[in-house]
Amino acid sequence: MGKIRLNNIRVHSNHGCLKEEMLIGSDYRVDLEVYTNLSKPSVSDKLSETVDYVHLNNIVKEEMAIRSNLLEHVAKRILDRVFIELTTVSKAEIEVAKINPPIGGDVQSVSVVLKAERPA
């Protein structure tokens, strides 16, 4: 078993419940970690035998472009697609962070972390 981690994927999107967030949008950071068997690709050196991190990045960017009220919702959509499209992933963890959230204080970010295992 091994893991592939994408760190600090930066996107701008319009998630949130406030009207300003829907119109102006905010900056987000996404970290995604997937667990898969890396024994074959570590020997074969073949991209076809591993989880392509370009594919993972595309899933994140595409789902982050679809507006949601809650970070929890967009994070779950990303995990759902990972399990649907990448059949060798056994479990995954995602963190979606809103940078400088509009919460009336000096807060660097707020984030949601979800963990999931491949459905049986």
Query: pTM, whole model, 2 decimals?
Result: 0.92
> What's the pLDDT tens digit per position in 1-21?
899 999 999 999 988 877 777
120 confidence band (pLDDT: 50, 70, 90): confident
Query: DSSP characters for 69-112?
Result: S-HHHHHHHHHHHHHHH-TT--EEEEEEEEES-SSSS--SEEEE
CA distances in angstroms from 34 to 19, 53, 74, 104, listed in the order given: 34, 10, 17, 34
Report the chain's mean pLDDT, rounded to a whole number.
Answer: 93
Neighbours of 110 (CB within 10 A): 13
- pLDDT higher than 80, residue 98: yes
